[in-house]
Amino acid sequence: MNPLELDDYQHIVFFTGAGLSAEAGIPTYRGAGGTWAKYDYRAYACQRAFDGDPAKVWDFHDERRLRMASAEPAAAHRMIAAAQATHPSVAIITQNIDGLHQRAGAHHVIELHGSIWRVRCRCPGAPQVNLEAPIAERLCPTCGVWRRPDIVWFEDPLQPAPIQQGIDAIAACDLLISIGTSGVVYPAAELPRAAAQRGARCIEINPEPTAVSEWYDTHLRTGASDALRSLLPDLATGGTTPG
């Protein structure tokens, strides 16, 4: 398809998922090589698992932190950050927890599923801590019990603030570009539907058809960085390899 002119749009949303960060070397959850092909989420990624064996769940997340800390943002992360720098109305809504949008230079990111770089505790008054080091202090300094990663696990509700910010951004957008999401994790997967229903331009970037492909008027069946290089060549910073 022809390159896009971002100046033709008033409010632009990039809606991103694990496939984007696959280009930075971070495995997706589903599909070949996906995290859940190797690990049972019931033992590593739900509150019950954490309550039963917090050290095991921490070990799993520390390993993920180390992997994410050593990853470099892909070209697509950098192009999205450049789009936000040049078009302040760009909203970035991500299901990813890895912080790679921010490391690529994005200044505001709506994190629907939290961030692996934060931890939280249920005790009253415990501050939410932003971690800079890959390995966190596991016990709450206020109450002395286990803190947990500030991410949305299976069966967790979403935090209301980011979901509302995501709904608002999508309600206002006239261009939505979805990148690297399978569209099966609800309620996040539901959000882009509102843009399609209102007639916004909706572009899906994913090498595979997804559960929600029908909402999109344009499908780019290739990797995130290659697709953005062809869609937004002015933002490409060079290089032709994925990531």
Q: Is 80 among the residues that bind ligand NAD (CB under 6 A)?
A: no
Catalytic-labelled residue, pool 61, 77, 101, 113: 113
* Tokens (6 digits) for 231: 């869609």
Three-state secondary structure of 69-85: HHCCCCHHHHHHHHHHH
Q: Is 22 among the residues that bind ligand NAD (CB under 6 A)?
A: yes
Instruction: Enumerate helices (H) and strands (E) in the chain, giving the number of each.
Output: 10, 9
Nearer to ligand NAD, 34 or 105 (CB): 34
Q: Is 208 among the residues that bind ligand NAD (CB under 6 A)?
A: yes
Q: Residues near 53 by Cβ (< 8 Å), separated by ≥ 6?
A: none
Q: Mark the segment that binds ligand NAD (CB under 6 A) among 42-50, 92-100, 123-131, 141-149.
A: 92-100
Q: Running DSSP on this structure, what letter comes out for residue 55?
A: H
Which residue shows structure tokens 């016990």?
139
Q: Please report how close the Cβ of residue 142 comes to ligand NAD at its closest, in angstroms.
A: 28
Q: Please report how close the Cβ of residue 183 comes to ligand NAD at its closest, in angstroms.
A: 6
Cis status of the peptide bond prior to 187, with omega within 30 of 0 = yes
One residue of 54, 105, 134, 207 binding ligand NAD per CB under 6 A:
207
Active site residue 101: no
Q: Is 96 among the residues that bind ligand NAD (CB under 6 A)?
A: yes
DSSP string, 3-46: PP-GGG-SSEEEEE-HHHHHTTT---SSSTT-HHHHS-HHHHSB
Nearer to ligand NAD, 140 or 228 (CB): 228
Nearer to ligand NAD, 35 or 165 (CB): 35
Q: Mark the segment that binds ligand NAD (CB under 6 A) among 4-12, 40-48, 96-104, 163-171.
A: 96-104
Q: Residues near 138 by Cβ (< 8 Å), separated by ≥ 6?
A: 54, 55, 58, 146, 147
Q: Please report how close the Cβ of residue 200 comes to ligand NAD at its closest, in angstroms.
A: 20
User: Burial code of 99-128, b = ≥16 C-beta within 10 A, e = fewer?
Assistant: bbbbbbebeebbbbbbbbbbbbbeeeebee
Nearer to ligand NAD, 140 or 236 (CB): 236
Q: Is 149 among the residues that bind ligand NAD (CB under 6 A)?
A: no
One residue of 182, 191, 212, 228 binding ligand NAD per CB under 6 A:
182
Which spans of this chain sit near ligand NAD (rule: CB under 6 A)?
17-19, 21-23, 26, 28-31, 34-35, 95-98, 113, 179-182, 184-185, 205-208, 210, 223-224
Which residues are catalytic, by number?
113
